[in-house]
């Protein structure tokens, strides 16, 4: 998973204007983020049509604010620069919940 450098929403949208992307908002101190982290390589492999970008919420606090990300871990999906879905709340997320979210985008 590639780390997203510090950025803003306008730059991000330009950078992800072609292709499918999944933003994974996380932070090192977040216990619920650490809970899902071990499952992420398998999720990435299963959904290889998405490029996964790890977004450090603390480093990108302004971006998180612009995107209205209030809880982590959170997932935001983009297709050719357009947001197509988000799984964003302050709850712990299981591998099955993340996969169900991504599956719901395929419809």
Active site residue ranges: 30, 33
Length of the chain: 107
- B/e letters for 33-63, b = 16+ CB within 10 Å, e = fewer, are beebbeebeebeeebeebbbbbbbbeebeeb
Q: Which of 50, 28, 34, 22 lies closest to 93, judged by CA?
A: 34
């Amino acid at each position: 998973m590639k780390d997203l450098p510090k950025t803003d929403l306008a730059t991000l949208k330009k950078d992800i204007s072609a292709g499918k992307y999944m933003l994974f908002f996380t932070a090192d101190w977040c216990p619920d983020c650490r809970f899902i982290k071990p499952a992420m390589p398998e999720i990435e492999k299963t959904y290889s049509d998405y490029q996964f970008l790890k977004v450090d919420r603390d480093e990108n606090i302004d971006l998180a604010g612009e995107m209205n990300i209030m809880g982590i871990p959170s997932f935001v999906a983009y297709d050719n620069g357009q947001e197509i879905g988000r799984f964003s709340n302050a709850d712990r997320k299981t591998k099955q919940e993340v996969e169900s979210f991504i599956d719901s985008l395929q419809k």
